[in-house]
Amino acid sequence: MRLNHRLILALDVTDPKRAVELAGRVRPHVDGVKVGWPLVLAGGLDVLRTLSKTDYVLCDFKIADIPNTNRLIVEQAVDAGASGIICHGFVGEDSVRACVDAARGADVFVLVEMSHPGGLEYSAKYAEDLARVAARVNAAGIIAPATRPERVRALRAIIGRKQILAPGVGAQGGKASEAIAAGADAVIVGRAIYEAVNPAEAAKAIVGEIRSIVSR
C-alpha cells in the first residue's frame, strides 16, 4: 500500500451514502479507507465498486475461514475493486496463504493482535508467530494495535520492512504519533475523524501530529 499521509480512514458506518460522502470530504488527507462487514452488508458490493473508483479500499473482513472459502471471499472483494484485504492469522498458514494467492496482487494484511480486552484471552498469545506467518506467505503486512505501542515495536522487529497498520487511535485511546514512533507505517482512525464537526480538519490534524515526529 502506498502511504503518503500515513493515515487510513475507518469507515465504520452502516449508511453507504454517508460512507461515500465522508470518504470524499476526508480524501485529501488520507491514503485510503477501511470498509467492514456492517457497511458491506448494508450496501452490498456496490459500496466497494463506488469507493474504489476514487480511493484505496481496504476490506476489513477479518476473514477467518478454511482456505477455499477465504479464496472465494477475496476473489469477490478484489473483483469489486478492493485494493487490500484484512484476514485473521490464527486460522493457520494455509488459510492466510489462500488469501494471498487469491488476491492477485492486491494487498493482504494479516491481523495478528486485536485491541479489545477479549483479544488478549487467546489470539494475542500467538501474535509473534502470526507475524512470522505473514512474512512467510509474503503478505503486504500486518495489523497491530495502536493502543499498545510496545507490541507494535516487538512485531516490527519480526516483520522487517513489511507494513504495519495500526487501528485504535482516538476513541480507543491510542495516539497516532506514538504508534508511528513505535514502528507503525500508518494508523487507522475512525470515530475521531468521522464524528468530528469537521472530519477533514480532524484528519489533517492527525496527519500534522504524525509529521511532527517523522522526517519525510
- 62 part of the active site: yes
Q: What is the DSSP letter of 193?
A: H
Interatomic CA distance for residues 182 and 23, integer angstroms: 27
Q: Which of 24, 28, 44, 208 binds a copy of itself (CB under 8 A)?
A: 44
Q: Is 77 in the site for a copy of itself (CB under 8 A)?
A: yes
Query: Which range in 67-75, 101-109, 157-165, 180-188 contacts a copy of itself by CB under 8 A?
Result: 67-75
Q: Which of 35, 103, 130, 131 binds a copy of itself (CB under 8 A)?
A: 130
Quick one: cell of 71?
Answer: 479464496
Q: Is 195 in the site for a copy of itself (CB under 8 A)?
A: no
How many residues belong to the site for a copy of itself (CB under 8 A)?
43
- Our separate counts of H helices and E strands in the chain read 10, 8
Q: Is 81 in the site for a copy of itself (CB under 8 A)?
A: no
Interatomic CA distance for residues 12 and 39, integer angstroms: 7
> Are 26 and 205 contacting, i.e. CB atoms less than 8 angstroms apart?
no
> How many angstroms separate the first and last alpha carbons of the chain?
17
Q: Is 147 in the site for a copy of itself (CB under 8 A)?
A: no
> Are 111 and 140 contacting, i.e. CB atoms less than 8 angstroms apart?
no
Q: What is the DSSP letter of 140?
A: S
> Are 69 and 45 contacting, i.e. CB atoms less than 8 angstroms apart?
no
Q: Is 194 in the site for a copy of itself (CB under 8 A)?
A: no
Q: Which residue has cell 473483483?
A: 79
Q: Is 183 in the site for a copy of itself (CB under 8 A)?
A: no
91 or 192: CB nearest a copy of itself: 91
Query: Which range in 125-133, 134-142, 156-164, 203-211 contacts a copy of itself by CB under 8 A?
Result: 125-133
Q: Which residue has cell 505473514?
A: 134
> Are 5 and 176 contacting, i.e. CB atoms less than 8 angstroms apart?
no
The one catalytic residue among 17, 34, 53, 62: 62
> Are 183 and 154 contacting, i.e. CB atoms less than 8 angstroms apart?
no
| Minimal distance, residue 78 CB to a copy of itself, in Å | 11
93 or 209: CB nearest a copy of itself: 93
| Minimal distance, residue 213 CB to a copy of itself, in Å | 27
Which residues are tagged catalytic? Answer: 62
Contacting positions for a copy of itself (CB under 8 A)? 12, 14, 36-38, 40-42, 44-45, 61-62, 64-67, 69, 72-73, 76-77, 88-96, 114-123, 126, 129-130
